[in-house]
Amino acid sequence: MDVALSKNGAWALRVFFALVVAFLYAPIVILLIFSFNNSDVPAFPLAGFTLHWYHDFLVNADLRAAVETSALIAALTSLGAVVLGVLASLALARRRFRAKAAVTALLLSPLVIPYVVFGISLLLLFHTLGVPNGLPTVVIGHIVITLPYTILVLVPRLEQIDASLEEAAYDLGASRLRTFRSITLPLILPAVVSAFLIAFTTSFDEYAVASFVIGTRPTFPIYLYSALRFPSRLPQVIAVAVVVLVASLTVVVAAEVGRRVAERRVQLDS
């Protein structure tokens, strides 16, 4: 008899699952509570309820500028990573060529390279080429480290699509671009959205690479790490972390709903 199917085993699994969920989300709940604490020190018991720290975030021009910088970098990074990821995934899933395994390993190599080492390498490369540090250098670095994630999301989806659909479109006189736009893209659109979100969140939260190649405009993670050195700024940092968390959850939920709607439409059309 399977232990997991017994009454005691099922109860133990539920308790274990509850403990895992509590371990993962308890810090977020504590962060949310402290964002309303009327004290400079995040500690229990709470000193009272206040929205003062959220007001400080709204009027803090430097902090808002850092969030906007990270959002801009993440948007450009995710767009570039998705475009390159789609092209690379089409080649890996639909083409046969020599050294395919080596090319795949090369594209996925940023997953195993330490970000600190990669950041130093980019810094030396840009310095040698005479490229000044700034937003473009950060975008380039983030595209490289997020490209493997987009490939890992898109290639399995492409392999699930019957290649005969594309071949039928070719036989009917459609060009490769028309086939991709009318056949392939609608079928992989949920995976494209997922890849875009993964690249966006990875770029938005990335610190190591950006710290080496950023210019005079700090990103949000860099600003947070610098602000943590000053205890008086900690409540404001907590408040903005809650705002970013809520915004991220909203985007993820909306994307998941959109993905399910798109998949349902594809199934109905097929």
The pLDDT value recorded for residue 146 is 92
Count of domains forming the chain: 1
Instruction: Give CA–CA dist 226/220, Å, rounded.
Output: 10
Query: What CATH number does residue 72 fall under?
Result: 1.10.3720.10
Is residue 237 within 8 Å of 150, Cβ to Cβ?
Answer: no
Structure confidence at residue 74 as a pLDDT band (50, 70, 90): very high
Residue 86 CB coordination number (10 Å): 21
| Residue 239 domain flag | yes
pLDDT at position 267? 63
Residue 29 lies in a domain: no
Question: What pLDDT is attached to residue 160?
Answer: 78
What is the rounded distance in angstroms from the CA atom of residue 58 to the CA atom of residue 64? Answer: 7
Please state, in angstroms and rounded to a whole number, the distance separating the CA atoms of residues 109 and 115.
Answer: 12
Residue 41 within a domain: no
Q: Please give the backbone phi and psi of residue 211, each rounded to the nearest 5 degrees, phi first.
A: -65, -20
Q: What is the pLDDT of residues 187-206, one digit of tens each?
A: 788 888 888 888 888 888 88
In a domain, 114, yes or no: yes
Q: Does residue 92 belong to any structural domain of this protein?
A: yes
Q: Quick check: 140 pLDDT over 80?
A: yes
Q: What is the pLDDT of residue 36?
A: 81
Q: Which of 16-25, 29-38, 131-140, 257-266 shows the lowest per-residue confidence on average (mean pLDDT)?
A: 257-266
Element (H, E) at 161: none
Instruction: Report the C-alpha gap between 96 and 71 in whole angstroms.
Output: 38
Residue 3 maps to a domain: no
Residues spanned by the domain of 183: 54-269
Whether residue 230 is contained in a domain is answered as yes
97: amino acid identity, one letter: F
- Give the residue-averaged pLDDT of 147-151: 91
Q: Is residue 264 domain-resident?
A: yes
